Structures are given as C-alpha cells and as structure tokens.
Amino acid sequence: MSEQPLSQPPIAARRPSPRTHHGDTFLDAYEWLRDQAAPETLAYLRAENAWTEQQTAGLAPLTEELFADMQARTQETDLSVPSHTTHPSSSGSATSWWYYTRTVTGQEYEIHCRVQAPADRMPEVTAGTPVPGEEIMLDENVLAEGQEFFSLGAFAVSPNGRLLAYAVDLTGGERFTLYFRDLTTGALLPESVDDITYGIAWAGNEHLLYARADESWRPHQVLRHRLGTAADADPVIFTEPDERFWLYLDNSRDDRFVVLSSASKLTGECHLLDCADPTGEFRLVAPRRDGVEYSVEVAGDRLLILHNRDGADFALAQAPLEATGDAEWTPVLPHRPGVRLTGVDAYAGQVVVQLRRDGLTGIHLIPRDSAGDLGTGTDLTFDEPLYAVSARGEWDWDTDTIRLDFTSLVTPPTLLEHDLRTGARRVLKRRPVLDHPVHGPYRSEDYVQTRTWATAEDGTRVPISLVHRREVPLDGSAPALLYGYGSYEISIDPTFSTMRLSLLDRGFVYAIAHVRGGGELGRAWYEQGNRLHKRNSFTDFIACAHHLVAEGYTAPDRLVAEGGSAGGLLMGAVANLAPEAFAGIHASVPFVDALTTILDPSLPLTVTEWEEWGDPLHDPEVYAYMRGYSPYENVTEQRYPAILATTSLNDTRVLYVEPAKWIAALRHSARVDPSRLLLRTEMVAGHGGVTGRHAGWREAAFEYAWLIDAATRSRHPVTEA
C-alpha cells in the first residue's frame, strides 16, 4: 500500500475492442488486461491490491482473530493412520510396509514416511512421538524452503518399494518437474523430467509413464522414461489428437497394468498396458462411442466396467481380462434411474461400489467367492441424516477390511475400518478439534444440521444442506453464508470444516445450495444445469436464497454468498440477476468472462469445455444463450451488493483477466460504494490459491472477515451513477 491513503480506486482505461460473432458485436473495453506481461497490466493489478488492502485495513483485527481461531482448533503436530502395502521382489520375497504422513507444529507441509512391519500388525504411531524404524521418504517442507509457492503434483513408489517418483510445481502454473529418489539410500537420482502435467504410473520398476500437455494445457501425450537415460530421449507412446479429450494415467491395484483413460466431458475410452512388457503397446478395452463413458477396474481374472451405455446413471458390468469391445460386457448391477454409480474397487473377496442416491453418497458391497464370481450385494447404512462417505482404495488385493472416510456437517472427518467378513466397524481416527480458548471444547450436539428444500421458478425442488449452532434464533436475525457451485456434475457434499466453526460460533447459518449442474441428484440433475439449461443453476441459487429468508434463517441484508471457479460464474450471474438478495458476494477465481473464453479455441481448456457449456463459436443458439448470462457482458447500471473477487496471476484454469475485467466493468457501471468493490490477486499462485497451511488459514481468515463484515453491517450506502 502506498504511503499516502488512496482517495479513489484504480480505474482501468476503457479501450473498446469489437468482438463479432453471429451478427452480434460486443465492445470489450478491458480485453487489454489479458496481456499478463504488460507493465500496465501488472501495475493495475497491484493498484487493485493496494486499494483492497487499504479498504480492508479495518478488518485486520478480525482477520487475526479468525486466524487464531483456526490455529487454536487445529492439532498441528499430527499424523495419518498408516496404510499397508506389500512390495514383491524379483527374488520372490516380499517386504511389508506401512505408509503414513505427518505434520509438525509451525511447519507448512506434510512429511511422507513409512515403516517396515508385518501386514497383520499396524505400527503404534502417536502424534509427536518418534516411530521406531521410520524412514522419511519426502519432506515437503525441505523442498518448499525459500519458495513463494510449492505444490506436490505426483507421488508414487515403485512396485518393489525401492524408488520414489515425485513432481513439484513452484509457480502455481500446474506444470511440474519430475524427480526420482532412491529410498534405500535416500539419494536423489541425477535425472529429472521437466514440463509434465498431472498423472504418472510405474510400468515395472525401471520405466515410468508420464503425461505432457499441449499449448492449450490439455494432457495429450504419454511418454515413457527409462531410469538411467536422458529425458530428452523419452519416446512418445500415445497421443490423443481430439482436442475434447484429456489423458489420465493410473496403475491397477495389483500393479500388473497401467490404465490409460482418454476422456472428454461426455465420452471416454480406456487402454491397458501390461507392465510385464513396459515397452509394448496399449490395448484398447472398448472403442469410444459418442456419449458413452466408461472406466475400468482390473479385478484379478476379469475387468469390472462402470459405464453409462445402458442408462444415464451408470451400470456395472464385468468382462474378460482380454476384452476389446463392449459386446463382451455382461451385467453385474443394472442401471437404476436415480442411483448414480460413481466408482468401483475390486478385491479378492469383495467388490466395493460407490454411489449417490437421494442427494447422499453411499457404499454397496458385493461378495466374491473363491473363483472370483460376484454374489448379491448389500448397502452400508449410517446413522446421521446428512453425511458424506467414500471408500479408500486399499492396495492389498487380499484385504479383509476396507477403510471408509465419513464426515458430516457436525462430525469431523473420521476414518472407519469396515470388516468385510463380519460387517463390524470401528473408528481408526477422528480428526481432532482442539478446545477453543473462548468457545471451549467442540461438541457436535451444540450444532444442528438439516436438509431443507427450496422451490425453483420452474417448480423443481432444490436441496439445501445447512448447519448452525443450536441456540441461533430462526427469526431472520442471524447472518448466513450460502455456498454454491453447480457445474461438471461435481457435488458439494455436507462435510465438516474446522475453519467453518469460526462462522458458526459467531452466530452464522451456513448453507450449501445443491443447484442443478452439480451431481447431487444424479446425471439428470447435471444435465438440467449445463449447456442450454445453465440458467437453472442461477435461478436455483436465487430460489435457495429466498427460501432461507422465507424460513427465518436470515434476511437479505444479512445473507452473503460464496463460490469459486465455475461457482464464481454462479456468483457473477446471481449478482446481475438478483443483487437485492445478498449483502455481499465473494467470487473466488471466478469464471466470469465465460463467453470470451469459450469463444476462443486457442485459450487453455476451451475446446474441452464445449461439451459442458456448448459451442458458441459455431452454434448461434449457444452464443445467444451464453451472451444472455455471462456475468462480464451483463453488468448493468444497477445497485449491486458488496463484491470481493480473489484470483491468482498464474492460474491456468480461470485466467486472472476474467475477474480483473469483471471488476473493472463493475467499477464503471455498478452503483455500489467503491470501498465495497474489491479485487485481490495473488501474484505468485495458481488456481488453488496460496500454498502452505498457515498461508491457507490466513487467506481463509481474510475472506471470512470480509464476509462477516458484509453480513453484519447494515446495507451499505449506494453511490448513484
């Protein structure tokens, strides 16, 4: 911030640039901000940061208080429950290891460890106590030392347990450098591979496959690296030419195969590489068919195929290990409308199916006999009315137990062990929530979680999950935060947040609007909120806001909203459509210049997004529809609530220029107190924001302080245009 107080916010120069499509011309006044390297662009972003810092200076004590809350409730020195893996060797012997991570008070990142012990005896590990025989495989704190940004993008131990491959990003641009470490000596191998993206897979113990992205930041090639050779000689072994498709790499549970998935938003296909022949060819499991998605789980002597060939909510089939087409698929679980199958893990004695039903996640277990054939399955049940549960993929094929991650709006993340033979269940670990110096110990019974339903403008019932302290009056006087996302069939489940307690203990109601475009109620729920139905996401959210007011949870001048990325598009759209419904809106890395981005196939990710949003470049109907809701183009001269937009300069998913243009347009047209219209840009970070847990807490504390301020002061005065 400058030494002299700023008398007014920065005003971006207006340089109208015409954009014409399908007979419509839009004059884009702020497209010049796209030039990231231009000194005037960087100067503008820094000026906005200075303005935000000045206007929020009064929130510094509350921000520090919130940061202290988060730190006080967190057990900083902690460790995960060890997970078992057996590593075979070429001599026929095997070593048994338990893997875990731990954190240390005052340090930002995780330490990855392992200890050798028999498979049937989990080592006794206690936070803060040295584990006898511990090997530190990787200390992220050491790697991050002296760096402004650090992200670990890959971490994979070789099948024999002797080598570690890991990848590091130091800018936030989601481009990684791959390294190898000898776990026997701890030495870093002299070779590295630059410019890889997410996804690596060992093919035996001497070869590693990795993905590389094209100019549009799309993983489109798989390369093979042989240890001991120069990376610039790595051959390309697979290329995906269709710009709609991304490549994903993984290993089968038994490390016999590399599974390569090539998928667009609505179509997919899978290939298998036999790790016994790492320089061989991938085998196609079934050719792609437009609109058909499938995934593959290697299940011993057969494949399990999760697919939507027979229905939108997916079915489960099995096929021979050597299958090369879907004619060889035979049903295991048929398609059932409203029961969305989302994942499958196979073990010697059981198949674990993950699903969604009635807006909640679920687990379905199918027993296998000694021949590997599948029997009749059963659903697991849980006591709470709202929850999220998922199965962790165990690496031991012959396991008798599986681990379940369970949480709810009032139950901290809990790791359960479920016995596949007896059905017995026990808690292995529940994330500690330490006593707060003012609010005392955390007790779930002090809070109420519930589900209520809003009615959208077309009559559709939209679920809302919410939580608040038991004593909060439901007479409209409570402040409330409504969160939403609503894209890509991604579900925002009712999960616990330690940081959220800082809001709840200050009298907030916290609500999640499960709007269409997400996956909470199955594939149809998603399809009703994408492409030419996208407006449903926005009107659903507004209906949820009105419902919270009508039911006495809050009032419009005490209701704030939050969403990020595609949820930031939601924030921008509802700000235009119903500004009177909210006291404040926080849009994080917001996709608010959606039409400009989706019109330009040279920009990162655009072509792959056409199946989500439609193709406005070639389809005039899609263009007109997006033109009608894209937040940037639809800023008008009306009253707006307080708005905070946060972004990162190195974000490759939603470019910083989108919120920068949006805020500039709002400054020009919106009737809002200039002190309540803010842009904050992290100058060294990516789509996920800052890294390091303390930095993350500080970022969250600032955002919460702003939201609390917006919700607990009266409606701000409006500057007339």
Report which secondary-structure segment, H or E, holds 508. none
Average pLDDT over residues 49-76: 96
The single residue of 345, 408, 687, 709 carrying the catalytic annotation is 687
Instruction: Please state the φ and ψ torsions of residue 119, each to the nearest 5 degrees.
Output: -65, -30
pLDDT at 211 over 80: yes
CA separation for the pair 559, 654 (Å, rounded): 26
Kindly tell me the burial class for residue 243, based on how many C-beta atoms sit within 10 Å of its own C-beta (0-12, 13-18, 19 or more): middle
pLDDT in the model for residue 3 = 60
- The pLDDT assigned to 260 comes to 98
pLDDT in tens, 433-450: 999 999 899 999 999 999
Phi, psi at 465, each rounded to 5°: -100, 135
Residues 6+ apart with CB under 8 A from 100: 79, 80, 81, 82, 83, 113, 114, 125
Contact 678, 655 (CB under 8 A): no
Rounded to 10 degrees, the C-alpha dihedral 339/345/347/352 comes to -30
- Give me the pLDDT at residue 687, please: 72
DSSP 245-284: -EEEEEE-TTSSEEEEEEE-SS-EEEEEEETTSTTS--EE
705: helix, strand or coil: helix
Confidence label for 202 from pLDDT (cuts 50, 70 and 90): very high
Residue 720 has pLDDT above 70, yes or no: no
Lowest mean pLDDT among 13-22, 263-272, 305-314, 649-658: 649-658
The pLDDT of residue 603: 81
Round to whole Å and give the CA distance between 70 and 434: 10
Beta bridge partners of 295: 306
Instruction: Give the model confidence (pLDDT) of 511-560 as tens digits.
Output: 999 999 999 999 999 999 999 999 999 999 999 999 999 999 999 999 99
Judge whether residue 411 has pLDDT over 50. Answer: yes
Element (H, E) at 176: strand 176-182
Domains and CATH numbers, the chain: 17-73+447-712 (3.40.50.1820), 76-139 (no CATH), 147-284 (2.130.10.120)
pTM for this one? Answer: 0.94
Catalytic: 271? Answer: no
Residue 522 carries which DSSP code?
Answer: -
Rounded to 5°, the CA angle 376-382-385 comes to 130
Closest to 531 measured CA to CA, from 595, 622, 601, 594: 622
Q: What is the pLDDT of residues 246-296, one digit of tens each?
A: 999 999 998 999 999 999 999 999 999 999 999 999 999 999 999 999 999
The answer on pLDDT for 714 being more than 80 is: no
pLDDT over 90 (residue 129) = no
DSSP-assigned letter for residue 352: E
Q: Say which range, 201-205, 208-212, 385-389, 653-657, has the weakest mean pLDDT.
A: 653-657
pLDDT digits (tens, 9 = 90+) for 590-646: 999 999 999 999 887 788 899 999 999 999 999 999 999 999 999 999 999 999 999
- Which amino acid type is present at position 527? E
Encoded tokens for 702 = 């600032």
The string over 29-46, giving b where at least 16 C-beta atoms fall within 10 Å of a residue's C-beta and e elsewhere, is bbbbbbeeeeeebeebbe
Instruction: Give yes or no for a contact between 536 and 456, defined as CB atoms under 8 angstroms apart.
Output: yes
pLDDT band at 2 (very low <50, low <70, confident <90, very high): very low
Strand, coil or helix: 326: helix
CA distances from 475 to 409, 431, 471, 509, 551 (A): 22, 33, 12, 12, 8
Which of 13-27, 63-77, 92-106 is the least confident region? 92-106
Whether the CB-CB separation of 481 and 513 falls below 8 Å is answered with: no
Q: Are strands 339-346 and 642-648 parallel, antiparallel or unpaired?
A: unpaired
Spatial distance between the Cα atoms of 495 and 469, rounded to a whole number of angstroms: 16
pLDDT at 1: 40
* Annotated catalytic residue, options 151, 565, 588, 630: 565
262 is catalytic: no
Q: Smallest Cα–Cα separation from 491: which of 358, 590, 320, 580?
A: 358
Percent pLDDT > 90 in the chain is 88
**Of the candidates 315, 267, 302, 257, which has an alpha carbon nearest to the alpha carbon of residue 287?**
267
Determine contact, residues 498/697, Cβ cutoff 8 Å.
no
Strands 584-588 and 559-564: parallel
CA distances from 47 to 1, 10, 378, 385, 677 (A): 8, 6, 59, 48, 13
pLDDT of residue 394: 84
| Tokens linked to 351 | 């198949």
Q: How confident is the model at residue 578 (pLDDT cuts 50, 70, 90)?
A: very high
Quick one: pLDDT at residue 312? 97
At residue 684, the pLDDT reads 81
Instruction: Kindly tell me the burial class for residue 25, based on how many C-beta atoms sit within 10 Å of its own C-beta (0-12, 13-18, 19 or more).
Output: exposed
Average pLDDT over the chain, rounded to whole?
94
* 8 A C-beta contact, residue 258 and residue 250: yes
* Cross-sheet strand order for the sheet of 163-169: 151-157, 163-169, 176-182, 188-196
Residue range 152-175: average pLDDT? 95
Cα–Cα separations (whole angstroms), residue 479 to 113, 381, 690:
44, 34, 28
Mean pLDDT check: name the lowest of 136-140, 308-312, 475-479, 671-675: 671-675
Per the residue annotation, which of 593, 615, 651, 709 is the catalytic one? 651
Tell how strand 461-469 and strand 509-513 pair up: antiparallel
CB 479 within 8 A of CB 557: no
- pLDDT for the residue numbered 17: 96
- For the question of residue 310 being annotated catalytic, the response is no
The answer to whether 409 and 467 have CB atoms below 8 angstroms apart is yes
* Residues in a beta bridge with 682: 648
